[in-house]
Amino acid sequence: MTILETTSPLSDRRASARQIWLLTVLFGLVLLSALSLRFGLRPISWYSIWESFVAYDATNADHLVIQGMRLPRLMAAWLAGGALAGSGALIQSLTRNPLADPGLLGINGGASLGVILCIFLLGISDPASFVWVAMGGGLVSTVLVFFLGGAGRGTPLRLILAGAALSALFLALGRSLLLISQRSLDVYRFWVLGGLDGIEMPTLAALLPFFALGAALAAVSSFNLNAMMLGEDTARSLGLRVGLARGLAVCAIVCLCGATVSMAGPIAFVGLIVPHMARRFSGADMRWGLLFSTLLGAGLMILADLVGRLPVFGGNMQAGVMAALIGGPALVWLIRRNGGAAL
């Protein structure tokens, strides 16, 4: 039987195309990262960038800008874009709903309410201390959504409805607090539009364990979701513990999005559209879907941040907004080119 020569399921033409796309995307990411270090308000030469890595000099202003501002910013873009798009891929597959967004689990709503409560009740106005409040708020609301949605036993639809209801409730609560307190609004505005400005290494380092844990859980979940996408019965008969698998995927999303929202505020859209772009390259295999989503999400965020820094946009356009401005038309182009097959 010639068929036995097959050594892996990837040995078809589509699979080698996938590998070529992977290399292309990786190359693009490296290029974008380099450009993102190079360009900004202050022109810095390639040589200085190189030097700041191999022979850092704390008295050199160029080195300070690169290592103290642009590098953390670049890393934040990587993490935020990758985390949002990766968890978008997970939630779309988990709920079998192509319009699901990771914010649907109530993470953004919970995080926002947490931050508002913290400003309103405790009078805190230092953005750095919002990190843990936002994380906590997101966590609490996701746990609520997960259990209201029937925990491991609920249907995807129930999970989505629970998430939509709680998100709306939390946002409304937050807004009514903002309406009665001008002072809170002034502080909150900074957080909610925060984007990637002013993120520093210590914040990144503190959040890194969450991103790492989230990435590991996401990798395991992508394997589980490959079976889950065939429906609950089939997944169970393939030996999956469906409730546990669902719980793991939700944990992955909470870690990734909780860390992102606490670092960069709520960023919409990336988690919704990037997985659709990724599907063009990955096919129906979630492991590849997750990988491509993560890489493309990171790429989109870096690009958005870079473009947002151009003088045309006043030199400071929020990366999340820019990502939607770039990503929207890109998705439309993809859909049109494929006659709608992408969705």
Partner 1 sequence: MNAPARLHAKALSVAFAKTPILKDLSADIPDGKITVIVGPNACGKSTFLRSLARLQKPDSGEVLLDGKSIHKQANRSVAQRLAILPQSPSAPEGLTVRDLVTRGRTPHQSALRQWSHQDAEAVGRALELTGMAPNANRPLEALSGGQRQRAWIAMALAQDTKILLLDEPTTYLDLPHQIELLSLIQSLNQQNNQTVAMVLHDINLAARFADHIIALRAGAIFTTGSPTEVVTRNNMEQVFELRCQIISDPVHGTPHVIPE
- The torsion of the CA quartet 259, 260, 263, 264, rounded to 10 degrees, works out to -170
241 contacts partner 1 (rule: CB under 8 A): yes
We find the least distance from the C-beta atom of residue 78 to partner 1, in angstroms, to be 24
Tokens 């009514």 belong to residue: 176
Q: Which is nearer to partner 1, 221 or 260 (CB)?
A: 221
- For the CB of residue 252, give the shortest distance to partner 1 in the complex, in Å: 12
Pinpoint the alpha helices (H) of the chain. 13-38, 46-54, 61-65, 71-94, 107-122, 130-148, 156-180, 182-192, 201-228, 232-237, 242-264, 270-282, 286-308, 319-337
Residue 121, C-beta contacts closer than 8 angstroms, at least 6 positions apart? none
Of 145-153, 199-207, 239-247, 310-318: span binding partner 1 (CB under 8 A)? 239-247
- Among 18, 70, 73, 279, the residue binding partner 1 under the rule CB under 8 A is 279
If the CB atoms of residues 86 and 109 are measured against partner 1, the closer one turns out to be 86
Q: Which is nearer to partner 1, 48 or 224 (CB)?
A: 224
Query: 214: burial class by Cβ within 10 Å (0-12, 13-18, 19+)?
Result: buried
Q: Which is nearer to partner 1, 70 or 279 (CB)?
A: 279
CA distances 32 to 139, 175, 260, 265, 296, Å, are 32, 37, 21, 23, 11
Q: Which residue in 69, 19, 68, 15 sits closest to 40, CA to CA?
A: 69
In the set 91, 263, 285, 322, which binds partner 1 (CB under 8 A)? 285
Report if residue 220 touches partner 1, rule: CB under 8 A: yes
If one asks whether residue 240 binds partner 1 (CB under 8 A), the answer comes out as yes
- Using the rule CB under 8 A, which residue among 39, 132, 223, 313 binds partner 1? 223
224 scored as a contact of partner 1 (CB under 8 A):
yes
- Does position 213 interact with partner 1 (CB under 8 A)? The reply is no
CA distance 112 to 196: 17
Q: Which is nearer to partner 1, 1 or 58 (CB)?
A: 1
212 forms part of the interface with partner 1 (CB under 8 A): no
Residue 101 found at the interface with partner 1 (CB under 8 A)? no
User: Which candidate, 104, 88, 102, places its Cα nearest to that of 290?
Assistant: 88
Residues 6+ apart with CB under 8 A from 328: 269, 273
Q: Identify whether the C-beta of residue 248 lies closer than 8 Å to the C-beta of residue 220.
A: yes
Instruction: Please tell me whether residue 4 binds partner 1 under the rule CB under 8 A.
Output: yes
Q: Is 181 helix (H, G, I), strand (E, B) or coil?
A: coil
Question: Which range in 153-161, 202-210, 232-240, 323-331 contacts partner 1 by CB under 8 A?
Answer: 232-240
Q: Should residue 42 be labelled a site residue for partner 1 when binding is judged by CB under 8 A?
A: no
Q: Which stretch binds partner 1 (CB under 8 A): 78-86, 177-185, 192-200, 223-231?
A: 223-231
Interface contacts to partner 1, rule CB under 8 A: 1, 3-4, 6-9, 12-14, 96, 219-220, 223-224, 226-227, 229-231, 233-234, 236-241, 279, 283-285
